[in-house]
Amino acid sequence: MIYLDNGATTFPKPAGVINSVGNTLRNYGANPGRGGHRLAMKASELLYDARKNVADFFGVEDSSNVIFTLNCTTSLNMVIKGILKKGDHVIISSYEHNAALRPLEKLKEKGITYSVAEVFEKDNEKTLASFREQIRPNTRLLVCTYASNVFGIKVPVERICALCHQYGILTCVDAAQAAGIVPIDLSDSSIDYLCIAGHKGLYGPMGTGALIVNCDTIPDTFIEGGTGSNSASSEQPEILPDRFESGTGNLSGVVGMSNGVNFVRSRGQLNLYNREMQLIQRAYKALSKLDKVILYTEYPDMDYYVPVLSFNIKDMDSETVSQILSSRFNIATRAGLHCAPLAHTTKGTLDIGTVRVVPSAFTTLNDINSLISAVCNIK
């Protein structure tokens, strides 16, 4: 099979990730941060090492600010529901995923409003102006994707976050499609809350993610419960990461995610990014020559895009095209709306969706050539 659905989750996983998950389950299967026996302490060390590794990867000095979560969606919900109060206003981009949109829609019931700032492809000045226009006296939070999970368009989040800070607005970035692909350094950043998925560009197992807190404003708790610390108190601990990590976590998954980070480091993050962009550019160039193919972005370069490409075949439903690619050519792509109706509304594809192609470190030029050949042959 040629797997080009890496935007949903990367596959295959690196051997180091698989081995580390197995090794943890086999040899270190105690509950970290609970008991004091040798195996529990070893498990705690593994969790701590993973936390330090992820912190270091994103330029975070204090690893306590790395909170392990189930996925990027959970991280976004923790910020959105932990920060906002009645009367607050939020700005989002026109490419947000349902992970941001749905929690905000839910919070309308509590008197919280949001508005959408348009993103202008390859025009950061216009995009910045668009976000500036949406700022209101009661704007409390920016929630913005680093890059569209459908069209690969990068949003100039650092500049937008810096703008928001001028107005005292907190900033939350959804880096699901960027973490592990685009270098992100929080040591010199206006991003207050970085939400990441472990199972995409970081090559970890599914069911892993993190919220990285990069400011002094700590969200209210999302859930409360046992943390293994300060247990005599009925109140949730204030200290990070315990405040947000109630209940037994996914130790083997987190260790796998940390080994995924090591994999990205070993390959060179910029090398991976560059290589995957070349694959997407190859697909773009070839598909753009086919009259029957519709593409939705300008030519994707590293300044403005991450390696994500959406297309359609004229007069064909995206699901049908993806199904043919799977059944006839054994090529895995993702069709439909990619949980991002706002992005599809922006591009006018809400009714038909698109076929999405996302390579990974394991995708070859032959894979992309096979995709191009398959699309040529679809009638």
Partner 1 sequence: MDNLVQLSSVTQAMRARDLLKSNGINSAVQRITASRGQGPCAYGLKIFNRFDEAISILREHNIHVIGRARGEIR
Report the interface residues with partner 1, using CB under 8 A: 32-33, 35-36, 41, 44-45, 47-48, 51, 62-64, 227-232, 237, 239, 241-242
**Cβ closest to partner 1, residue 11 vs residue 48:** 48
Residues facing 210 on adjacent strands: 68, 196
Cα distances from 237 to residues 83, 191, 281, in angstroms, run 17, 25, 49
**Cβ closest to partner 1, residue 233 vs residue 366:** 233
Buried b (16+ CB within 10 A) or exposed e, 195-221: bbbbbbbbbbbbbbbbbbbbeeeebeb
Minimum gap (Å) between residue 82 Cβ and partner 1 = 20
Positive or negative, the CA dihedral 297, 300, 306, 308 is: positive
Token pair for 185: 């350094």
Q: How far apart are CA 363 and CA 267, in angstroms?
A: 14
**Cβ closest to partner 1, residue 34 vs residue 132:** 34
Minimum gap (Å) between residue 255 Cβ and partner 1 = 15
Minimum gap (Å) between residue 186 Cβ and partner 1 = 18
Minimum gap (Å) between residue 61 Cβ and partner 1 = 10
Positive or negative, the CA dihedral 22, 24, 30, 33 is: negative
Side-chain half-sphere exposure of 71, counting CA atoms within 13 A? 11
Minimum gap (Å) between residue 103 Cβ and partner 1 = 27
Residues facing 196 on adjacent strands: 210
**Cβ closest to partner 1, residue 22 vs residue 225:** 225
**Cβ closest to partner 1, residue 40 vs residue 162:** 40
**Cβ closest to partner 1, residue 36 vs residue 348:** 36
Residue with tokens 């209101």: 136
Angle at which helices 365-377 and 318-329 pack, to 10 degrees? 110
**Cβ closest to partner 1, residue 247 vs residue 348:** 247
Token pair for 317: 């439903």
Minimum gap (Å) between residue 159 Cβ and partner 1 = 31
Buried b (16+ CB within 10 A) or exposed e, 270-282: eebbebbbebbbb
Minimum gap (Å) between residue 58 Cβ and partner 1 = 17
Q: How far apart are CA 150 and CA 338, in angstroms?
A: 7
